[in-house]
Amino acid sequence: MTESDVNDITSYAAAVRVALSEVPPEEREELLEDLENHLSEVAAESGAPLTQRLGSPEDYARELRAAYGTSAQGSWRAGAWQIRVADAWSWIVSQPIYRPVRSFLLDLRPGWWVLRGYLAVMLLWNMLVGAPVGLVSDPFRLRNILWLIAVPTVIWGSVYLGRRSRAFPRGWSGVVAAVNVVVALLVLPGVAELSTQVPYYGPPQNGNVGTVAAPQNKDSFEVAVALGNIFPYSQDHKPLNDVLLYDQDGRAIVLTPLSGETEPNYPMGADRRLIKNIYPLPQAASAPKVSLMPSAPAKASPAHHAETLPDSNLANNSENSTSREERLGQSYGITNIFAYSKEGKNLEGVRLYDQDGEAIVLDNRSVTSGEISYRTGPDGLPIKNFYPLLQQDAPPRVAFPPFLAPTLETSPTK
């Protein structure tokens, strides 16, 4: 044997050892026991390089291992993590609970086929139309008719695919599994969000429900008050439009229609939810009887600062209607009212009147907790419908951003 033969053997053997480095040490020792002997026999037989007779060291290692029957079957080299995954899987399969759980899940498959079809439509709908769709949508609009056609069609397709999935070649079942996972991951959070949105009819949130969930009064996001309408006025007695009202906890203040009145035409936000706490409400039927309003503020001097607003007349007026206003506070737990412009700006010094021109007042007798303190006019009398009331400096304690889309006032129609 020549020196070059020895070098050839040494380097070939070293390469084989490297290729087998992932094999557990015990097995590797056994496998490599005869390696040098083998190589020198081959070299002694012919002068040709080892790679010519035996192939590459990597091939040699793969073949050796495959014939020996380690976990790798020779067609691919299993890395350490792949072996661990395989071990973990075989452990799972060996558990007694595995079979019943598996057969239970197999029983559930038709349900999943239907669900994933529905979810796929939701996903596509949100991507293509860009608007969230509720679990049940209004069937009297054209796009919703499309929705009603799409849902059963895609569900049928999904079930068809599911029933035929066994006939798919190997590669396809992987693709189907991947699509399943994508649909589930993308849509399930959306479904969870939908379910949190259902009871909520408050201010538009640009779809950001998470920040609304903050009100301390957890039982609702809105306070429904039995009044016909609310008319906000500025400090200098100009009627204001598009003012959003919230209570001290950031709950939207929503009016329940008085008996005999139809539901107002609430504007719709960019998130396609009705905005019910924007005032004055657009009432088709009843024109507000605010005759009192222009006359009373007219006596006031617009130049006055808010705290020095002379307004005994209105304060007195409000006294006349306290019976109703008391109920307002008591029944609904409202201790303060905060007004926002539709641009989301907190408005200071807003005066609120109802549809009869009567001041909307909260007073101490009407609340079970908290304290009411009014601003006083120059005559020393309190101005009771001047909001927000003094007892609370900071606008709502809750993170309640009334972010509004630019196209608030018109419901986007298609």
Partner 1 sequence: MDTTQLLKGVLDVAVLAVLEKQDSYGYDVVRRLREAGLDQVGDASIYGTLRRLYRAGTLTSYVVPSEEGPHRKYYGINATGRAVLAESVKTWASFAQTMNQVLHLEREV
Whole-number minimum distance, CB 14 to partner 1, in Å?
16
Whole-number minimum distance, CB 6 to partner 1, in Å?
12
Please tell me whether residue 87 binds partner 1 under the rule CB under 8 A.
Answer: no
Residue among 42 and 154 whose Cβ is closer to partner 1: 42
Residue among 32 and 131 whose Cβ is closer to partner 1: 32
Residue among 1 and 175 whose Cβ is closer to partner 1: 1
Please tell me whether residue 77 binds partner 1 under the rule CB under 8 A.
Answer: no
Residue entry with tokens 């959070």: 189
| Side chain identity at residue 60, one-letter code | Y
Q: Would strands 350-354 and 230-233 be described as parallel, antiparallel, or unpaired?
A: antiparallel
Rounded Cα gap, residues 38 and 36, in angstroms: 5
- Which residue of 18, 67, 108, 129 would you call a contact of partner 1, by CB under 8 A? 67
C-alpha closest to that of 313 among 357, 349, 350, 354: 357
Please tell me whether residue 48 binds partner 1 under the rule CB under 8 A.
Answer: no
- Which residue of 40, 144, 283, 411 would you call a contact of partner 1, by CB under 8 A? 40
Residue among 39 and 296 whose Cβ is closer to partner 1: 39
- Residue by residue, DSSP assigns 197-231 as HTT--SS--TT-GGGTT--SSTT-SEEEEE-S-EE
Residue among 44 and 135 whose Cβ is closer to partner 1: 44
Residue among 34 and 379 whose Cβ is closer to partner 1: 34
Rounded Cα gap, residues 114 and 161, in angstroms: 11
Residues from 1 through 30 that contact partner 1 (CB under 8 A): 30
Rounded Cα gap, residues 335 and 358, in angstroms: 19
Whole-number minimum distance, CB 90 to partner 1, in Å?
20
Element (H, E) at 233: strand 230-233
Please tell me whether residue 60 binds partner 1 under the rule CB under 8 A.
Answer: yes
Please tell me whether residue 66 binds partner 1 under the rule CB under 8 A.
Answer: yes
Please tell me whether residue 33 binds partner 1 under the rule CB under 8 A.
Answer: yes
C-alpha closest to that of 182 among 116, 254, 228, 278: 116
Whole-number minimum distance, CB 40 to partner 1, in Å?
7
Whole-number minimum distance, CB 37 to partner 1, in Å?
5
Please tell me whether residue 49 binds partner 1 under the rule CB under 8 A.
Answer: no
- Which residue of 54, 131, 226, 390 would you call a contact of partner 1, by CB under 8 A? 54
C-alpha closest to that of 400 among 201, 197, 215: 215
Please tell me whether residue 36 binds partner 1 under the rule CB under 8 A.
Answer: yes
Backbone phi, psi, residue 60, to 5°: -60, -45
Rounded Cα gap, residues 165 and 156, in angstroms: 14
Please tell me whether residue 55 binds partner 1 under the rule CB under 8 A.
Answer: yes
| E strand spans, 259-402 | 278-279, 337-341, 346-347, 350-354, 375-376, 382-383, 386-387
Q: Which residues bind partner 1 (CB under 8 A)?
A: 30-31, 33-34, 36-38, 40-42, 44, 53-55, 59-61, 63-69
